[in-house]
Every structure is written in C-alpha cells, then in structure tokens.
Chain A
Amino acid sequence: MKILRVNMSEDTPMVKVEEIGSYEGLGGRGLTSAIVSKEVDPLCHPLSADNKLVIAPGLLGGTAAAMSGRLSVGCKSPLTGTIKEANAGGQAGQVMARLGYAAIVLEGKPKGDDIYKICINKDGVKVIKDNSLKMLPNYELVERMKGEFGEKIACISIGPAGEMKLAGASVAVTDMELRPTRHAGRGGVGAVMGSKGIKVIVLDDTGTTPRQPKDPEAFKEANKKFVMGLQKHPVTGQGLPAYGTNVLTNIINEVGAYPTYNFKEGRFAGARKISGEVQAELEKQRGGNPTHGCHRGCVIRCSGIYHDKDGHYLTKQPEYETVWALGGNCGIDDIDKIAYMDFLCDNFGVDTIEMGVTIGVAMEAGLIKWGDADGAIELLNEIGKGSYLGRIIGNGAAYTGRAFGVDRVPVVKGQALPAYDPRAVQGIGVTYATSTMGADHTAGYSIALNVLKTGGFVDPLKPEGQVDLSRNLQIATAFIDSTGMCIFIAFALLDQPETNSALVEMLNSFYGWNMTDKDVVEYGKKVLKFERDFNLKAGFTKEHDRLPKFFYREPIPPHNTVFMVKDEELDQLFNW
C-alpha cells in the first residue's frame, strides 16, 4: 500500500506517491493519528499550511471482509485544537484501498483562493483547478462530478461550510447511490480540507480487484464466521436493520438520559413522534427503505432512505444523534422537518450533532424559541448563504455561545456533547471528558453496558466502575477504528468471543500476522498514546478533561442526579 501526498503550497500542486514505510501495520484511525502526531506541529494553527489532512481506509479496507469500508479523516481540529479522527461510511474507503492507497495526505496551503479537484484512478492522480465548483453544495457538486466522470465513482467532498473554513464543517463521502450522505462530521475536518483548497476527491476503481489476503482460505473462513456472528446477534442481526440507530430515542428517553432543551431535562414529551419505530414505518409507507447499507459489504444495514410526504427522496435515514440534536435537544418533534435539516446539514457540509447543539444554544440565547423548527431551518440556511450569522452558527456551539453570551454551553474541549446526558449515564460522561477528541460518544460507547446491557451491565446512575468501563471501551474502539470496521460490530463482539476471534483471524490471515487478544489491546493503547501525546504537546492538561460546570451543579430530572465521577478518578483514565 502507498501513501499519496498532495502538497498545495507550490504554484502547481505537487503529487508524490511513496511507500507506507514506517507506518506499515497501521490503518484507519491508527494511521491518521500516527501521521498527524508525527508530522504536524501540535502548536500550529489548524487552518495553516502546517496542518495536514489525512484520509485513510482501515487495515481491511478494499478487501472482501464484511463491514470494512469505514474511512478515517484526521488532522489537528479547528474546533477543539486537539488531534482529530472523524470517520464515515460510504463507498470511498473501499475504492481508495482497492486503488492501493493506505492514505491520502493533503499538505501545505495554496497561495490564492483557487479551488481544486483531485481525480484518482488506476492510471494515476490529477489535481485540476476548477473554480466553477466554488460554493457548490454537496448534492449539486456530486451531480457535476457524475456528469463529468460517470456513475462508477466515489467522492470525498466539502460543501460551502468547508470552503468558508467553519469549525463545524464536515467531509462528505458518497454512499452506494452516489449521494453525499455519509459524513466525517466531527471536529471541523471539512474546514481543514477547505484550507487546502480541495473541494472534491473523485475516486474511480474501475479495473482494480479486491486486495488479496496472504492466506485466502483462512481469511474466507474467518470472514464467514464473522458474518454469521453478526447475523446471529439480536442487535446486529435484527434491531439495527429493522429500525436503525434511531431506535435509541425511546429507550434513552425512558431512562431519563435524553438531553432536552439544551440539557435541562432528561425526558422529551415528543420523543415517540420522532422515534426510530415511527421513522421506519414512515419510510415503508412512503416508498423509502428502513434497511439499507451505507457501503457495499455492510451486512448490518442500519441505514435507510427517507422520503418526504410526496414520496420523493429527501435524505438518508437520519441517525439517532441527528434526530436528537436537531429534534429533542431543541424541543422539536416534527420528524419531517428534522429530516429536512439533516439534508441541509449534508448539503452545506456541517456536522449534525454540532449544529443541533448550536441551535439549542441559540435558543437558550433567545434567538429563536424552543421547538421552532422553521426558525432552526432558517439558521441552517444562513450557513448556506454564508451570512455573518451563518458563519457564527457554522462555527459551532462554543463559538455561538460566546457570540451571544450564553454560559450553559454543553461542550468538552470545544466540541458539542452528543445525545446522552452524562448525569443520567455517568460512564458516557467519563468518555466525553477524557476522550482525546473532545466530547465524543463513539470514542468509548459506555451506553452499550450502562443502558443496552450488551456485554454486561454497569449501573448508569452510580460513579463506581465508570472509569474502568470507559478506558476499556476507548482502547477497544481505537483498535476497531483502525481496522476500517464499522463500530457497530462491537455489539456482537462484546457478547460473542468467537466473533471477536474471527475479526482477529481475518487480520492475521490477511497480513500473515500472529496477533492475539493481548496485542489488540496494545494496538488500541498505541493509537491512544499517539493522540494523547499530541494533545499534551498542544497544551492540553488534565484540567481540560472535565465536563462543563453545570453538569456538576444542576441536577437533571427525572433522576435529579449530577455528574459524580471525581476529577482524581478521571485523571486515572490513561494510567494503564
């Protein structure tokens, strides 16, 4: 596998293809974090020439392994100032790996304000100036690329938000229908791509074949066991395919952990109207599809296609996080308007979690009223217009809180909290506080054990055991994120040791390794160490590993609890 470097500082962008070299054995998040921690000055401005945007499929990307199409996007984050890895589904991960690239590294910064597209196929790489693409939203941009390059491509792109270098900007990845619906959303990675002057990377793997394992028979057998394990598990085999991630709305609401009205209450009266059950039924009635994969090779298929009232495509099935952020968090219970906001976020290229929490902060400031869906849509449209207000909103919750004098701003290291209140689920609070990425639920998804009883049960309302839980999950996640596997496989891995072994066996038979379970843990720790070291050099201390003060002071109904995990315990997370 090769590393493709595109340096945008020269008058003519410089393309260099090199061997993976010292990064051998790393993939996905492991590779993005290794390159960023080794090659980027932790003290640099995230939008400067010194930052790098690293795009990497996982270790099993481009192979016949099921679920292996996730794509990692890493850099120094303009939202948090920490290292960042945001990952997305879609087709590009598989295509990029089949083309032989372990990573694309965007470096430097163009002198002028020209924008470029990068076209990659089996014959090579072209970087083409194309100012006609300026400020195109993602859907229109992809249509243009389809017209130019045909239907067999995958695109990695930014919308207007990325071009404006807003800290909430995402990197979009096209799905199986060639729509820009899958986003590396968190941390403003789209702004870094914008700062490099790259609007879109067009990948075409025509004429390539899947990457071949060292031991094809063992690989095939391990993949078969792995798929059987996923299909057998009730969550990955039934729950997720039937209702998607938004099936969580009712359960998180019932346990009183559904952050409502900018984290003031733990239950939302309108939750059922926007739940996964309702959403899946609407999708069936309107000719959409509640069971759909975001990339070829996904056997869980938690995604879907959402149609409007007239039966026309509106957006992909909005995720739980999106429905919560733009819905319950803002007091909005209209699922069609939430789905429309999901489309707007994808089209302008902004993170739905960051935008929902930002709108909640804007509501707290009195800009619009709680529950005002049309007002929220207007705020998002301001981003598309590039107005001053839109630029404030597009820079995220912390920035908007400062602009409008709000002191209750739910962020850690500048990044908005996701859809679980840390006072009602203490374990996720530990992850939010200590993650190397700022508040990020996927970094150590304690909800699996705190609420969903997958892999065991740890009482969500008590502080005991939460640091150990979060630590173990953060280590395991850093490994899974490096394989290119979708994190949802973890639900089956936690309960089924044989499925876990099948994943390790796939890696061993593909690469000719002898990895053991212990090595998996060491791998995860190594990735976290890259990230933690970068953050320490960037000036982050243990004082940054804390939740906002109001989570320690304001009890949240219905349980009337505060966040109780002590600072000294949080400080032990990385002591292993």
Chain B
Amino acid sequence: MRVIVKLFGGLNSGKDFKRTEEGDIIFESVESYSVGQLIDALSLNKKPFIVIHNGIILTHLDIKLKDGDEISLFPPIAGG
C-alpha cells in the first residue's frame, strides 16, 4: 500500500519518509492501516485537527486506507 500524506499549516513529521517532488510524504507499508493508525505512525509535531481523505473531510479516523489514497492534514485554522 502506498499513500500520499500532505502536511499543511506548520505540521511536520519527526520521521524520515520518502518524499514526492512537492515534498509530500510517501507512506508505504505491506500492513493494513487505518487513518488514525497512519497519523500515529507519522510522529507529528502537533495533533492534526482536520483530516481529509481523498478530498472528503473525515469525522472519524477508523477508515481503512487503500493503495493510492491521499491524506491531507491540518491543524486548527481559519480565515475568510
């Protein structure tokens, strides 16, 4: 399974992952991961508040990830 993880708004991972040209994390694993487990595995500097899975805002994190999925993570932010 290969999942692209995009971090925004000052979120950083403490681990050394492979990256895309844009700097996104390439998360590869033979094991199955839920979104919540993936977030735990990233060792982020801050807890993400908004989690987007393939463009959809998640309200729970137990969704199982599939090969090719994209996850975007944000701390609490706003504007207008």
Contact = CB atoms under 8 A, between A and B. Distances in A.
B79 A558 contact: no
Nearest to B10: A242
A432 interface: no
A272 B9 CA distance: 11
B28 to A, nearest CB: 22
B77 to A, nearest CB: 4
A487 interface: yes
Contacts of A242: 10
A406 interface: no
A218 interface: no
Contacts of B49: 234, 453
A342 to B, nearest CB: 15
B59 A457 contact: yes
A320 B52 CA distance: 20
Contact of A248 (B6, B75, B76, B79): B79
A451 B9 contact: no
Given A453-B49, A457-B57, A320 B9 contact: no
Interface string B44-59: 0000011010011101
B33 interface: no
A244 B78 CA distance: 9
Contacts of B72: 250-251, 254
B59 A245 contact: no
Given A239-B9, A251-B50, A559 B79 contact: no
Contacts of A452: 50, 76-78
B71 to A, nearest CB: 10
Interface in B13-52: 22, 49-50, 52
Nearest to B72: A254
Contacts of A319: 79
Nearest to B52: A254
Task: Bin the interface of chain A by size.
Answer: 35 or more
A478 to B, nearest CB: 16
B57 A460 contact: yes
Nearest to A488: B80
Nearest to A257: B55
A235 interface: yes
A250 B8 contact: yes
Contacts of B50: 251, 451-453
B52 A243 contact: no
Nearest to A445: B80
B77 A239 contact: yes
Contacts of A247: 9, 77-79
8 contacts: A236-B78, A247-B9, A247-B77, A250-B6, A250-B8, A277-B8, A445-B80, A491-B78
- List the 5 closest A-B pairs by CB distance, nearest first: A245-B79, A234-B76, A248-B79, A239-B77, A254-B72
Interface of B: 6, 8-10, 22, 49-50, 52, 55-57, 59, 72, 74-80
